[in-house]
Amino acid sequence: MKTDDVVKLYDKYVMTTYKRVPLCFDKASGTKVVDIDGNKYLDFFPGWAVSGTGHCHPMVAASVAKQAKKLMHVSNNYYSVEQALLAKAIIDSSFPGKVFFGNSGAEANEAAVKLARKYGHDKGKYEVITMLKSFHGRTLAMITATGQDKVKKGFEPLPEGFKYVPFGDIEALKNAISDKTIGVMLEPVQCEGGINIASKAYMNALRALCDEKGLVLIFDEVQTGMGRAGKMFAYQNYDITPDVMTLAKALGGGLPIGVCVASAKFQDVLAPGTHASTFGGSPIVCAAGLAVFEAIKKEKLLANTNKMGTYLVKRLKELQKKYAFIKEIRAMALIIGVELKINGEEIYKLCMEEGLLINCTQDTVLRIMPPLNVTKLEIDKAIAILDKVFKKVKS
Ligand SMILES: *Cc1c(COP(=O)(O)O)cnc(C)c1O
């Protein structure tokens, strides 16, 4: 089959919920992708931040293959070794507490909001405040939690109990709190929202405010977690700890997973029978997650992420000097946004033609998130392609 044939099948049989580009992956390893027509690409946004350890990391692939022959799925009314060990790995690298396993980012956030609501229920509190430009997923509750109108349009009436304030504005948050408010949910770095990074002062004020008002502070680390921020979790670049944290994307190394992590005070709020997920925390997915943790440790990927993040930003700043349409570069380790004064859609497409896969979000922000094991050589290749494309756009 060629890409054209696959596109025809999609046109006939797959719902057109996505604006897809005509590229059909055949195989991939690390940053290297080969499509079914034999074209090669350098992937600097692998799997929409899912393949954080790169495509088909050998340790993840081996762990999944081994587990597939042994035990793939057990119902959650039994126990599994892999789920226990992955829960321990997550808690050991974050804060004391317990985890709930689901299958996606949206599901992890649903669990977090349900936890907050359950916690507030007897006090008559249910409202969760989220941020404008946030992104929390596509279920009905999560499009409501998401602070962007474009994801909600046409799906009204939406569930009650969400309010929005500008990201980074502590006064607005203070003013939005009512006697019904029970929680605040935000991403430490808004990724879909254009790589907007919370300041330390804001995070400190946020923690103090939530403590003062008795609010559950929820961090959505679905995209920022698992090493991409140079620490295992982005919040660890600040001096505070959330009450609840959600993870997904890179945690499964390519397999679907979503986790809600609750700190000790909140770990038993979701009592037996209050929440569930049939596929959640299956042995095969947890075996993948355990291998991701092992790979990050064994290959010292946090150190590499910091080093390569610094290097990539340095190289991007050189391009910024050459091209006046580059407005700003925002980064936390390998979470990188290049804000342009022009629309980035064409740049994204030209990069693809030249063999570099990146992303463009909020129309003007190029999102560059190579895997944690990216090398200097790969960065130099990507920069050369960006330079070539920028030159074309300028002329
Ligand atoms: C991708 C993402 C989600 C949604 O995850 P799904 O697995 O698509 O449900 C939620 N929050 C953030 C920050 C994300 O990046």
Q: For residues 110 and 183, state if they share a domain.
A: yes
Q: For residues 14 and 158, state if they share a domain.
A: no
Q: Residue 393's pLDDT is what? A: 93
Helix extents (H) in 131-217? 140-145, 170-176, 200-213
Q: Specify whether the CB–CB gap between 269 and 115 falls below 8 A.
A: yes
Q: For residues 2 and 97, state if they share a domain.
A: no
Q: What are phi and psi of 83, to 5 degrees?
A: -65, -40
Q: For residues 93 and 11, state if they share a domain.
A: no
Task: Indicate if ligand 1 lies below 6 Å from the C-beta of 220.
Answer: yes
The model's pLDDT over 63-114, given as tens digits with 9 standing for 90+, comes to 999 999 999 999 999 999 999 999 999 999 999 999 999 999 999 999 999 9
User: Span 340-368, mean pLDDT?
Assistant: 97
For residue 395, pLDDT beyond 80: no
Residue 26, H or E segment: strand 25-29
How many structural domains are present in the chain? Answer: 2
Q: Residue 394's pLDDT is what? A: 84
For residue 228, pLDDT beyond 90: yes
Task: Indicate if ligand 1 lies below 6 Å from the C-beta of 238.
Answer: no
Kindly give the number of the ligand 1 atom that is closest to the alpha carbon of 48: 1
% of the chain beyond a pLDDT of 90: 99
Q: For residues 90 and 197, state if they share a domain.
A: yes
* 54 within a domain of the structure (yes/no): no
pLDDT-based confidence at 155, cuts 50/70/90? very high
Q: How far is the CA of 159 from the centre of ligand 1 (A)?
A: 19
**Of 298, 326, 349, which residue sits at a domain end?**
298
Q: Domain of 169?
A: 59-298
Q: For residues 131 and 280, state if they share a domain.
A: yes
* 14 within a domain of the structure (yes/no): yes
Please provide the average confidence, as pLDDT, over all residues in the chain: 98
Q: Residue 62's pLDDT is what? A: 98
Q: Choose the residue to mutate in 101, 192, 257 for probing ligand 1, maximizing ligand atoms within 8 Å of C-beta.
A: 192
* 259 within a domain of the structure (yes/no): yes
Q: Which token pair is 106? A: 């949206």
- Specify burial of residue 323 (Cβ count, 10 A radius: 0-12, 13-18, 19+): middle
Q: For residues 130 and 100, state if they share a domain.
A: yes
Task: Indicate if ligand 1 lies below 6 Å from the C-beta of 277.
Answer: no
For residue 190, pLDDT beyond 90: yes
* 289 within a domain of the structure (yes/no): yes
Q: For residues 173 and 80, state if they share a domain.
A: yes
Instruction: Look at residues 234, 180, 209, 281 and name the one whose alpha carbon lies nearest to residue 49.
Output: 234
Task: Indicate if ligand 1 lies below 6 Å from the C-beta of 219.
Answer: no
**Of 245, 264, 298, which residue sits at a domain end?**
298
Domain CATH number, residue 281: 3.40.640.10
Q: For residues 173 and 28, state if they share a domain.
A: no
* 329 within a domain of the structure (yes/no): no
* 328 within a domain of the structure (yes/no): no
Q: For residues 63 and 34, state if they share a domain.
A: no
**Of 261, 277, 298, which residue sits at a domain end?**
298
Q: How far is the CA of 5 from the centre of ligand 1 (A)?
A: 30
Q: For residues 17 and 113, state if they share a domain.
A: no
Q: For residues 105 and 238, state if they share a domain.
A: yes
The model's pLDDT over 251-305, given as tens digits with 9 standing for 90+, comes to 999 999 999 999 999 999 999 999 999 999 999 999 999 999 999 999 999 999 9
Kindly give the number of the ligand 1 atom that is closest to the alpha carbon of 249: 7
